[in-house]
Each structure stands twice: as C-alpha cells, then as structure tokens.
Amino acid sequence: MICRPCVLRRWMLSALLADWDIVERWKLKIRNWLFIAMGLLAGCVNSNEVTQEQLARMDLADQAVSVALFEAEVDAATSYNVRKDGFVVIRFAKDVTDDVYTRVVAQLRSDERISGVRAEQGGREVCVLKQGR
C-alpha cells in the first residue's frame, strides 16, 4: 500500500502537469492568433500603398481642385479629398450659393485631370455620384 504523503505528492504533481498542459495549449492558441493577426495587418498595409503613378495623378487632381476653388473664391468654404485614382470628394459649406456650387462642380467634372467628382453641400449630396467617362 502507498503512503498518504506519496499519494498526495502524486496528486499534486499530476495537477501541476495538467495546469502546465493547459498553459502550453493557451500559449499555442495565443501564438497562432498573433500570427493570423499579423498576416491580416500585413495584407492591409500592402493594399494602402500608393504607386508613383497614382501619386502623380493625385497631385494633378489636387492642383486642379485647388485652382478651381481659389478662382471661385470658395477655398475657405470647402474641404476635399483626392483618392488614389484621381476621384475627388468635395464638401461645400451651406453658405456657398447654388450658382457658384454648380459652376465649380461643372468645372471640376470637365477637367481631364480629375476622374470623377462627388459633391456635397450642407451634408447632403447634390450632384450625381460619378461622371461618365
């Protein structure tokens, strides 16, 4: 027959080994999830890269928008964003008149350096989403 201290030691040893096994399994799971997350993040980073050609197109579209807004004297009443493909999203303040708004948007849409225009005024879209080219 086995003495009580030996049984207790075996039980404690088996409990410690079981706990160790749980810890090792969790480490493995965490490590796997970290690798998956790193892979997904690396994929996102690569999709946001801008090539030199896209950067040049963005610069041309940005120049066209800033000139048009400055000439119409509404550069302080607008905000805009130029996408990689030269598409422009522009927001006009509510105090910009419809005449000025229409003239500027028509000028931007006719410019060859801009691939498309989405224009909003006062939080609502007033013009068609994309021009047909």
CATH code matching the domain that covers 52-125, chosen among 1.10.3470, 3.30.1060, 3.40.50, 3.30.1340: 3.30.1340
Q: Which residues of 9-26 are buried (b: 16+ CB within 10 A; e: fewer)?
A: eeeeeeeeeeeeeeeeee
pTM of the model: 0.59
Domain ranges of the chain: 1-49, 52-125
Residue 93, pLDDT score = 87
- At 72-130, the pLDDT tens digits run 888 888 888 999 888 999 998 888 888 888 889 889 899 899 988 888 887 767 654 44
**Location of structure tokens 């807004």:** 69
Taking alpha carbons only, the member of 109, 123, 61 closest to residue 86 is: 61
pLDDT of residue 2 exceeding 70, the answer is: no
